[in-house]
Each structure stands twice: as C-alpha cells, then as structure tokens.
Amino acid sequence: MAKLKIMVVIGTRPEAIKMAPVIDKLQAETRFATVLTVTAQHRELLDQVLDLFQLEADYDLDIMSSQQSLTSLTARIVTDLRAILEEAEPDLVVVHGDTTTTVAASLAAFYQRCQVVHVEAGLRSYDKYAPFPEEINRRLTGVVADLHFAPTAENRSNLVQENIVSEQIFVTGNTVIDAGLKLVEAEYQFSNFRLSELDLATGQFILVTAHRRENLGQALEHICQAIKELVVNNDQLLVVFPVHPNPQVQQVVYNYLEHHERIFLLEPLGYRDFINLVAESYLVLSDSGGLQEEAPAFDKPVLVLRDTTERQAGLESGRLRLVGTERARIVREVERLLTDKQQYQQMIAGPNPYGDGLASRRIVDYLLYYCNFSAKKPDEFSY
C-alpha cells in the first residue's frame, strides 16, 4: 500500500514544541511519509526548538522580517506555501494552535483542495480581541479544518456548538505535556549560567512571563509594579522573569525591574532550561497560553495575567486562576498562595485536565484509523 503523505506546517517556538512529539511519532510510522515545512515566523526561537528536538525542515519559507505586520505575514505565508504544496502534493496538511502560520497555512491548503488537520482545536475565549489575533486565527482554522484534535472534552463541546460534525473531532489531551515530561530531569543542571548560579531550592521563587499584545503598555506596567511590590513585601521571594524579545516588552520590564537583587531578568531561555524551571518553581505568574497547560503537569499553580482565557478546563479544575493585570489584585493573589498552604494545595489537588503524556500517540493512532490503515478507533483522553 502506498504511503500517505502528511505535511506538518509550523512557524513559531510554541508550535514546534507542541508538534515535536507528534512529528516524532509520525516519522516512526511506516505507513506515513512525513514532510516538515517551517515558515520561520519566529526565526531564532523556532530554530532553538528544532535543534533541541533534532527536527530538520524539508521546506523553509524563512519569512521573518523586522517589524513584520500581521497583514504582510499572512499574505507571504499564503503566497509562498502555494508552490510548496504544488510540489509536495501532500494528502493532509497538519497545523497547530492559533498562530498566523496556522491560519495562513490552513487557507493555503484549502486553496489547493488539501485536507487540513488542526491539532489543539476548539479553544475559545469568545472575545475576538483577547487573545489577539489568536482567538480569530483559531476560529478561522476551525472553519477550514477537516479533522480536529481537541485537547479536552470542553474543547470538543465548543466545536460541536459551532456545528462541526462530531465524528470529525477527537479528544487527545495536549501534546505540550508529552514534550515537557520528556525533558524534565530530577537533578537538572541549567545551561543558562545565571540560573546555574541561583539556589532555587532556598525560599520561594515564582516564574513570570508576560508578552501578550493586549497587555502591552499600561497593563504590563501594572504587572511590573506588582512584581516589584511583591519582592519588597516578601524578603525570601525570588522572581525569575525570562523577558520576551519584543522591544515594547523589554523597555517596560527593564525600566521597572532592572537592578533588583531578587528579580532575575533573563534572555529567552532554551526550552529544556525553561520547562525544568517551570518544574522547580513555586508558582507561575503568566499571560502565556502554553504555560497554562505546562505548569499543571508539574503541580504548579498558575495565576493568569489576563481577564479571559480560552483554557476554561484549567479554571474549572482549579489549576488556573484569572488575576488580570491590576496591581493590587496580583499582589493579593500571589501573597495568598505564598502564605496560605491550604489555598496552594487546593489549586493543585484536582486532576490535570490537559493530558497524560500520550496525546501524540493518540493523534497518530487516530490518523491511522481516519486514513483506513487501522480498523480500531483509539480511545479518547479523559481526566
């Protein structure tokens, strides 16, 4: 029987992290011929993850440019992918999540009448501007996709409510759990020299990330003010803050937080360092989508620096708590978890709604079933 050609398209660091275990399983499956295409929407950060997971691109659009706009980025991906799709002639195009690469690659594949598979489908905030542009990217991809791999049952329900045929949806858990569990080590030695010099086992340390477009400006200033107040109020507290390369983030963060002896501002970390840092943290303070899934895998509470989240299962399980960007509320919620052990334990006591480390295997098994290579439909993820 001829092999089925599957093209995976990724463009950013989060996509590469979350798709790496899927690509690994696809490449090991003899009934599939796997083609990896990267847009390099984020060049340097993407390359770090490709190197970490030893992934080699078959096609590289290399489209990143300084101060690229969403409009130009989308147009270039759709245009440049056409020739690649015509040459490769894949049977399926697999995209992930909610990036500009995701929606543009889906559209390009649709124009070539190629089936689209959406991994991490069905997340919704139902606020078109939060997260921006991710909410609309994900919704549009859901309209185009032929097969939807939803991390949770709640994500499946969102898709069903949008009139997606139930038989086209399969619940897998989130592949980021697969990636993270593979890389965390009990006696990990950080490659980042500043982290290697820190005694993270002494006292409490919180991991902070903040970079979302909707938080740029005053909201980010309030976040930084809260962090500064927290370390002043709590003399055993350390803050580790890998700072996003966006100049609008860097300017605010360094202006407010540089030169404090217990606030460690770092360049973006390699993923192996980063996920082991998550595993060693006391709690996570972040506006990141991925961290809302990664931290619960290591029993770390997540205080979400947003007013809404498309990851409702984390809220319902108690693993996540929305704290917004108002200074006083952030300080209050962090200090509650620093001092109230019962509150802390309650946040991590429930089941992890995001996965068990087997999402990638489920995805490949279901693709075998979907493509008639297997007669047995695999079991879905439940928690």
Query: Mind listing the pLDDT tens digit for each residue in 139-171?
Result: 999 999 999 999 999 999 999 999 999 999 999
- Residue 260 falls in the annotated catalytic set: no
- Span 195-210, average pLDDT: 85
Active-site annotation holder among 15, 24, 98, 178:
98
Summarize pLDDT for 70-81 with one digit per residue, the tens.
Answer: 999 999 999 999
| Tokens coding 380 | 């879905």
Residue 32 has pLDDT above 70, yes or no: yes
Instruction: Tally the domains of the chain.
Output: 2
Give residue 283's domain range. Answer: 193-349
* 264 and 360 belong to one structural domain: no
131, part of any domain: yes
- Residue 134 falls in the annotated catalytic set: yes
* 156 and 245 belong to one structural domain: no
* 139 and 219 belong to one structural domain: no
pLDDT band at residue 43 under the 50/70/90 scheme = confident
| Tokens coding 63 | 């489209």
- Span 14-37, average pLDDT: 97
Residue pair 57/38 in contact by the 8 Å Cβ criterion = yes
Residue 163 burial (CB count, 10 A): 7
Residue 67 has pLDDT above 80, yes or no: no
What was the pLDDT predicted at 351? Answer: 82
* 163 and 211 belong to one structural domain: no
Summarize pLDDT for 283-339 with one digit per residue, the tens.
Answer: 999 999 889 999 999 999 999 999 999 898 899 999 999 999 999 999 999 999 999
Listed residue (109, 332, 313, 150) closest to 226, CA to CA: 332
DSSP 119-173: ES-----S-TTSSTTHHHHHHHHHHH-SEEEESSHHHHHHHHHTT--GGGEEE--
Active-site annotation holder among 31, 43, 82, 213:
213
- Residue 98 falls in the annotated catalytic set: yes
Strands 204-209 and 32-38: unpaired
Distance CA 48, CA 65 (A): 18
pLDDT band at residue 202 under the 50/70/90 scheme = low
Burial (0-12, 13-18, 19+ Cβ within 10 Å), 159: buried
Distance CA 239, CA 226 (A): 12
Residue 197 has pLDDT above 90, yes or no: no
* 27 and 169 belong to one structural domain: yes
Active-site annotation holder among 244, 306, 311, 319:
244
Active-site annotation holder among 15, 134, 310, 333:
134
Listed residue (272, 300, 293) closest to 172, CA to CA: 293
- Span 342-353, average pLDDT: 91
- Span 22-39, average pLDDT: 97
pLDDT band at residue 1 under the 50/70/90 scheme = low
* 197 and 158 belong to one structural domain: no
What was the pLDDT predicted at 196? Answer: 86
Query: Lowest-pLDDT range, 6-15, 194-203, 271-280?
Result: 194-203
Distance CA 124, CA 173 (A): 16
* 77 and 112 belong to one structural domain: yes
* 223 and 116 belong to one structural domain: no
* 120 and 102 belong to one structural domain: yes
* 61 and 165 belong to one structural domain: yes
CATH number at residue 10: 3.40.50.2000
* 335 and 284 belong to one structural domain: yes
197, part of any domain: yes
- Residue 58 falls in the annotated catalytic set: no
106, part of any domain: yes
- Residue 222 falls in the annotated catalytic set: no
- Residue 118 falls in the annotated catalytic set: no
Distance CA 137, CA 124 (A): 11
Q: How confident is the prediction for the chain on average, in pLDDT?
A: 94
| Tokens coding 344 | 């802390």
Active-site annotation holder among 211, 306, 311, 319:
211
Active-site annotation holder among 120, 154, 294, 365:
120
275, part of any domain: yes
